[in-house]
Structure 1
Amino acid sequence: MRFEGKVAVVTGAGRGIGEAYAKGLAREGAAVVVAELDADQGERVAGEIRSAGGRAEFVPTDVSDESSTRAMGEAAREAFGGVDYLVNNAAIYGGMKIESLLKVDWNYYNRFMAVNMNGAVLCTRAVYKSMHERGGGAIVNQSSTAAWMGAGFYGIAKLALHGITHTLASELGWRNIRVNAIAPGPTDTEATRSTVDEGILQSIVSGMPLKRLGTVDDMVHACLFLLSDEASWITGHILNVDGGQVMRV
């Protein structure tokens, strides 16, 4: 129960890895704000956490909209008294367009970047004062190994998220707020399988040192570690959870 008495916001928590993050935090004692755009899925996850004996509230949230993220921060204060942890997981990924940067529809591109890149900034702005008032906290941003692979505008957004992680770690350190990121490799989720062809997935896995797809549990273990006091002297770090897909020196 590493997070008993703490409050965590998880964006994009209505399915996939975000849902697993929310439920993992709840299992270890945190009250969880399920910040999700899809009301049906958000209500479902919050309800399942409560049914399992945890505390959770669904808050409808569009991470690309400043007024929506501010309302999310206020709702967290009202429901649970404030915020200790933030997981910036929300992203356009499952079923996303895979197109050339030179040809992708410009409105789609701007919406994509507003969610996948700027959403982490807006959500952090919405909760960091509450974290500071409560003595500090921790933030985990959801990146991807695509950041190092020239993987189109998705990779660009994730690479930018690394810069955001480093900058926020520098800006928030004096407030005792740590900021790190997780870069998952290919992970067995509905979103991945709806986006990446099975043959391509198997080709990627065959070239990795640990020859299997990642699981949501692999990501949850890493996320909870980075949020916990066990990582109290770690900030500005990008943690690959990828079976050795990307090895950096």
Structure 2
Amino acid sequence: MLAAKRVIITGAGRGLGRAYAIAAAAAGASVVVGDIDTDAAEQTVAAIRASGGNGVAVTGSVADWAVARALTERCVQEFGGVDGVVANAAIMSTADPWDEAEDDLRAIAEVNILGVQFTARHAMRAMVESGRGGSVVTVVSGARDGIAGMSAYGASKGAVAAMTANWALAGHAHGIRVNAISPLGLTRMSQADHRSDRPPMPDPSRVAPVVTALLSDASAPLTGAVLRFDGTMLGRYDSSLHTFATSPAGWRGEDLAAALVLEAER
């Protein structure tokens, strides 16, 4: 499905990122495995090679412009170009918003927002310059719609959803498609979600096929989508506006407040 494709996958030392990298390689792609943990990245590469695949590791934080650039440079040097990138690397801390530490807030913004932008920027530049286009896959989360204790993480994923929509528009003329996934898988990060109603967490290997599909030319007509996938159910988030009240004559503050209360009570 990905024969002759050259792809970059960040945060690929463990969890979902590792599953994405192994699945992409099994589908025929040559993979640059990015991770801040050198041993974990090398272990993913070893697993890829043990199965007959082709992979190399680049280690360091995607929040570092030079590291993000090195991911693309290594892909071009080793494999001859870049056809796809999965900007998966992210971090999370849990706290009530009034208890967030400055260091945690900065780190989440730098890795989850700037790191995604840095990684995709360099990869998309290579795609534009090659004239071949490609596929960009970003990663969002249900936390952007509200999960207790995950306000900073959710805010960063809301930013990624906005990037996805805008990059899809910009990339269209260059044959670059951009889609986001909101995956549900059993990882160290997902285990930090202690909600009593937390849905069952599937093994990451069951979630990986959606990334393989998005990197493939077989899904080329799709761009600008935010998808939800848990290994069984596939869905798409609807960004349409719901208008719940109108007043052609204009609004007073009191009337607006009354309309808002009615909407809250629906």
TM range, normalised to the smaller chain? 0.7 to 0.9
Pairing partner for 2:198 from 199, 204, 228: 204
TM-score by length of 1: 0.87
Displaced runs of 4 or more, over 6 A? 243-247
Deviations 1:23-70 (A, max 9, x none): 000001000000111001111111121121110000113111111111
Q: Is the contact between residue 165 and residue 181 of structure 1 (CA under 8 Å) also seen in structure 2? A: yes
Pairing partner for 1:241 from 226, 229, 232: 229
Query: In 2, Cα distance between the equivalents of 1:248 and 1:127?
Result: 26
Query: In 1, Cα distance between the equivalents of 2:36 and 2:74?
Result: 15
* Larger radius of gyration between Structure 1 and Structure 2: 2
Q: CA deviation at 1:219?
A: 2.1
3-state secondary structure, aligned to 1:135: coil
Q: CA deviation at 1:196?
A: 2.6
Pairing partner for 1:221 from 197, 200, 209: 209
**Residue 152 (structure 2) aligns with:** 153
3-state secondary structure, aligned to 1:117: helix
Q: Is the contact between residue 165 and residue 179 of structure 1 (CA under 8 Å) also seen in structure 2? A: yes
Query: Unmatched 5+ residue regions in structure 1?
Result: 206-211
Alignment: residue pair count: 234
Q: Is the contact between residue 218 and residue 241 of structure 1 (CA under 8 Å) also seen in structure 2? A: no
**Residue 33 (structure 1) aligns with:** 32
Query: In 1, Cα distance between the equivalents of 2:18 and 2:159?
Result: 24
**Residue 114 (structure 2) aligns with:** 118
3-state secondary structure, aligned to 1:127: helix
Q: Is the contact between residue 85 and residue 138 of structure 1 (CA under 8 Å) also seen in structure 2? A: yes
Q: CA deviation at 1:189?
A: 2.2
Query: Unmatched 5+ residue regions in structure 2?
Result: 239-266
Deviations 1:151-173 (A, max 9, x none): 41111111111001001111111
Q: Is the contact between residue 82 and residue 134 of structure 1 (CA under 8 Å) also seen in structure 2? A: no
Q: CA deviation at 1:247?
A: 8.4
Aligned-residue RMSD, C-alpha: 2.0
3-state secondary structure, aligned to 1:108: helix
3-state secondary structure, aligned to 1:32: strand
TM-score by length of 2: 0.82
1:68 aligns with 2:67: yes
Query: In 2, Cα distance between the equivalents of 1:247 and 1:32?
Result: 27
Q: CA deviation at 1:246?
A: 9.0
Q: 1:33 to 1:244 in 2, by over 3 A?
A: closer
